[in-house]
Structure formats: C-alpha cells, structure tokens
Structure 1
Amino acid sequence: MESEHGSAEYGSIERELHVDASPEVVFEVLSKPEYIRDWWSAENDVEPTAGATGRLTWTDEGGGESKSEPFTVVEADPPRTFSFRWTYDESRTGGAGTPAGPGNSLLVTFELVPSGEGTTVRFRETGYRERGWEAALLEAYYNDHRQGWDFYLARLAACADRLAATR
C-alpha cells in the first residue's frame, strides 16, 4: 500500500509493507550494522540506542565515489519502533555537539506491528518542508528519496525474510 500526502506538498513519504518475519527479526535488520549493509548498501556504525550518532556511507562500486550522511537515532524500542534523523548539514547544526532536530534534518520512522506470522512495517519520512529548501530543490530531494525508499524497502523485506528463514 502506498500513500503520499499531496505531491504538491512534499510533506512526507509513507509506505506500508508486509514482511514474512517477526517484529524481532525486522527490528534486527533495521538496526544492526551488518544487516543495514545488506539492505541499504551503507557502511555504518549504527548503535541502536536513542541519542546515538553515527554515519551512513555509500560507495559507488563503479566509480569508487563515496557519499556519507550523518544520522542520529531518535527512538529504539525493540521490537516496535526504530526512528532516526538524517541528511543534516553538520555545520548548520553546530557540528557534532548539536543534535539533529526539526528544521535541519529528515525524520525516518519504522513502526513494526505483528501481523499473523509476520510484520506490517509502517515507514514514514518527514521534514522536507521544514528544511526551508526552495521549491525545485525540495521537489528533487523528495522525488529522489521516494524512488530510493521504494527500492530499499523491498530489499529490507527480502533481507528480513532471508534472516527469518535461517532461524
């Protein structure tokens, strides 16, 4: 199921998907570095505890270029909720000492709901309008993230399914 809040608004990206794995397994896949590398293709130093900060780094295998984004874990409530802020300019947040928050970052929330033998994953990314981007940049970021999440959420589900099959 896909829902978007009025494309003219670019307010949030929301998705809901079913995963054939328990909420405990899905939470592990969302929050542990080795699984994040698998489904999100990002090297990372995630510590799944509220307030923890780290970096996500993607490397283009063809050209070898790397892109790195800071993140801050907002909530880690296994096996129900995992949320983090990311895509913030550390210089605008005052460097490492000032946390990401509304207006300087995007907020990603994964809500995990038991559903039969599996889990319903409710995904939401918000904060686009609050960034203060001019319209063309806002639209570009939103569309890039919308396409990216559609790709990576399918990989998240496949990774969780594979892990569940080994348990």
Structure 2
Amino acid sequence: MDDGTLEREIRIDASPEVVFDVVSSPEHLREWWPDAVELPAVPGAAGRIGFGDVAKGEVSWVQFTVVDAVPPRLFSFRWTHEAGRTAAPGNSNLVVFALEPDGDGTLLRMTETGFRERGWDEAKAAGRYRDHVTGWDHYLPRLAVYAAKVGAGA
C-alpha cells in the first residue's frame, strides 16, 4: 500500500456502452457486485449499496455518492463515508472506472484512492486497503463475465 492507490485493469468482451451501463446501473450492479443498490446513477446523487442476505433483511449498508457519469467513458463514485455525511476527500474513498474501446471490447481501468486520507493509523489503513484488494479481485472478474453476457444479449 505504498501510496494507498488500488489499481486494476481488465479487458471486457463488451462495448464501452454496455460496460458503462453495467458499472453504473443499479439493475446491473446487483448482478456482479452488491446484493442491494439504492441510488440514481447521476452526478451528485447519494444512495447506498448493501452486502448480505436481502431476503432475511440482514444487509450491511455502505454509503455511495456518484461523482461523475460520462457515458460511455467514465463512472466514478465516493463510498464508505458515514451515513448522514456528505462524501468528500478525507471521509470517503474515490473509485473511478475509466473505459476505453479496445477492438471489439473495452479496457476498464479501475482506481480506488482515499485510504491514506481518512486519518486512520497505518494498521487500519493497510487493513482496509487489503480488504478492498480482496474485494475487487473477487468482483472485477464477475463484472467482466456479466458484461460479456449483457453485450452478447444473454
């Protein structure tokens, strides 16, 4: 966690338009990342995403605020800030999905920053960073598979 920036790059067998919808639309997000989503995908919109058993009402909610939505090139959001607080540098992490055409598919570059800016001690910042590395390493391959299915009309 040298500079506290988490970066991943994946190629997806779907157009940038499809991938943008998959990373920004609540209906699609639920298929590869959180178990529940409550948010409009427009800049400045605040909502939340949830992880857990929705049917049993056992969901852990995480705050989520859209920063930029520029179809089909960029979708970014701040998350993990306290409920009732406006997301800002210092109280939330920033995730950016940058999309670019790559032949008949899309190159997705994901970055997450903000771990060092939270005011946490080194151990807590490193622990949260590791948790997010594990999470993104699990969810991004799911995103690629799901977006390819959507792009193929499946």
TM-score category, normalised to shorter length: over 0.9
1:145 is matched with which residue? 132
2:116 is matched with which residue? 129
Preserved contact between residue 96 and residue 111 of structure 2 (Cα < 8 Å): yes
1:3 is matched with which residue? none
Structure 1 residue 160 corresponds to structure 2 residue 153: no
Structure 1 residue 72 corresponds to structure 2 residue 65: yes
Distance (Å, rounded) in 2 between the aligned partners of 1:138 and 1:60: 27
Structure 1 residue 37 corresponds to structure 2 residue 24: no
Q: Which runs of 4+ in 1 moved over 6 A?
A: none
Unaligned runs of 5+ in 2: none
Q: TM-score, normalised by structure 1?
A: 0.87
User: Which stretch shows the higher mean deviation, 64-73 or 22-31?
Assistant: 64-73
The number of equivalent residue pairs is 153
Preserved contact between residue 44 and residue 66 of structure 2 (Cα < 8 Å): yes
Match of 2:96 among 79, 90, 109: 109
Cα offset, 1:11, TM superposition = 1.1
Deviation sequence 1:61-104 (CA, Å, 0-9, x none)? 8x9632100110000000000000000113xxxx2xx5211000
Aligned-residue CA RMSD (Å): 1.6
Distance (Å, rounded) in 2 between the aligned partners of 1:136 and 1:66: 27
Structure 1 residue 48 corresponds to structure 2 residue 62: no
Q: Which amino acid aligns with 2:92?
A: S
Q: TM-score, normalised by structure 2?
A: 0.94
Q: Secondary structure at the match of 2:48?
A: strand
Distance (Å, rounded) in 2 between the aligned partners of 1:151 and 1:109: 17
